[in-house]
Chains A and B, each alone.
Chain A
């Protein structure tokens, strides 16, 4: 069973635009992570945000976490065609010692 749910399921934008995708979850978490998956490949870790953090940046990525709303967002600024991929959030449950992945947002960036 998946805990994180990404929204939207699919997103199509022009190169240079910003892309925002959201993740909602149900139970208390220690951390939330975002991963990228290019078509037919393994996942690549992008960023981890802890439950006591509200915002984190890494290059063109900005992640926010609102534990009161049980939601997170991933913003990719100045998108590039190479950002075309599926993006997954993974929630790290307080007592589970493992990550649970959502079903992802498929991002298409048109050149």
Chain B
């Protein structure tokens, strides 16, 4: 069964360092989402792509976070510089298209900022 791939699974970094996460959605899925999930809370949408275009990044802290999906397939989320409050699970999800809202999630990247 096709799955959403994410790497790394775990990342420990010091504050003020740069960190990057990678996501490969299910083949053929046009819509890709990056979520941040703080322990004990639900996922919060950071950015949504339709193919290579950003359709929603209203909750992305743009002073330190950036996301790209250059060829409309895989995607990278970057944080620079990382802050202690960025410690969280970063989840990537994909769906066939933005009109089909059932999302398939990857296993996530657990980020710890020290």
Residues of A bordering B, CB below 8 Å: 2, 4, 30-31, 33, 35, 40-45, 48, 88, 90, 92, 97-104
Interface of A is mostly: strand
Name the distance in Å between A33's Cβ and chain B's nearest Cβ.
7
Tell me how many residues of B have a C-beta within 8 Å of chain A: 26
Name the distance in Å between A29's Cβ and chain B's nearest Cβ.
11
CA distance A97 to B106 in the complex (A): 21
Tell me whether A92 and B101 are in contact (CB under 8 A): yes
CA distance A92 to B93 in the complex (A): 15
Name the distance in Å between B24's Cβ and chain A's nearest Cβ.
13
Residues of B bordering A, CB below 8 Å: 4, 33, 35, 40-45, 48, 55-56, 89, 91, 93, 98-99, 101-108, 110
CA distance A52 to B58 in the complex (A): 29
Tell me whether A103 and B42 are in contact (CB under 8 A): yes
Name the distance in Å between A80's Cβ and chain B's nearest Cβ.
22
